[in-house]
Structure 1
């Protein structure tokens, strides 16, 4: 299967992203990028960079294992499992969240002639955050068990 250079570059970037490299986001994203996940909507590279700086300042580790990748024209999808560790969540242990990203690429002077202009993440926000909180987590897990 043919690998898409821009999509592979995006995945490689996220595998190296940490608190010391958030300043490199403009190499991957356009100036007017729109980033959206179940918890946020951010418009522009300055807002996205600020968000990642705050996010990574509190994380001990964050890694991605990328799975399936598909691209047609300017739109791509990639599945992933994020493993992260935060001192105040899940008792400071690693935990995993599965998700998918939809990316739109735009022509630019990026390393592969393209940068991401739209990035939307899909994942279970409860599994990422709410279920990891000491009191709220047990309530959410109990509701999920009863609903299942």
Structure 2
């Protein structure tokens, strides 16, 4: 594994509201970021996204499970996300598994996250979460 990927993984896992200035050392100015809920182009948009994310959550933490460089400048991070948001699950902790696909030269220019958006959001929204739980039970 490259020293850069290890540095990226370690830095990303420790980001918080007070360290978002470090995004510029991780990502290129023209970074493309995608996840099941967002599509962002450019470092300013990514910085704004993270600022809102870290402002609105009461607690957020990534546990890295696996870091794998599959080719030079191409790799994956597998992680568990733990967060508490006042509007989700009545502010109780939520955990979610996911994976990040990364491409980089000097810095990451492509970051795609893969996770179950339903497990993150829809199952933890009042009323809607109960309906989804009921549907899952009916399908089992």
| TM-score bin (small chain) | over 0.9
Task: Give the alignment's TM-score, normalised by structure 1.
Answer: 0.89
Structure 2's unaligned 5+ residue stretches are none
Q: 1:105: which partner in 2?
A: 104
Instruction: Output aligned runs, 1:85-96, within 5 Å.
Output: 85-96=84-95
Tell me whether 133-142 or 117-126 shows the greater mean CA deviation: 133-142
RMSD: 1.2
SS of 2:17 mapped into structure 1: coil
> By how many angstroms is 1:145 displaced?
2.4
Runs of 4+ in 1 over 3 A off after TM superposition: none
Of 40, 53, 56, the residue aligned with 2:51 is 53
Q: 2:126: which partner in 1?
A: 134
Structure 1's unaligned 5+ residue stretches are 107-113
1:95-137 CA-partner distances (Å, limit 9, x unpaired): 100000000011xxxxxxx211000000000011111101111
1:32-83 CA-partner distances (Å, limit 9, x unpaired): 0000000010000000000111111011111111112211122101110000
Tell me whether 114-123 or 82-91 shows the greater mean CA deviation: 82-91
SS of 1:88 mapped into structure 2: coil
Structure 2: distance between partners of 1:68 and 1:24: 22
Structure 2: distance between partners of 1:115 and 1:133: 36
Task: Give the alignment's TM-score, normalised by structure 2.
Answer: 0.93
Give the paired residue count.
139
Q: 2:20: which partner in 1?
A: 22
> By how many angstroms is 1:144 displaced?
2.2
Q: Does 2:83 match 1:84? A: yes
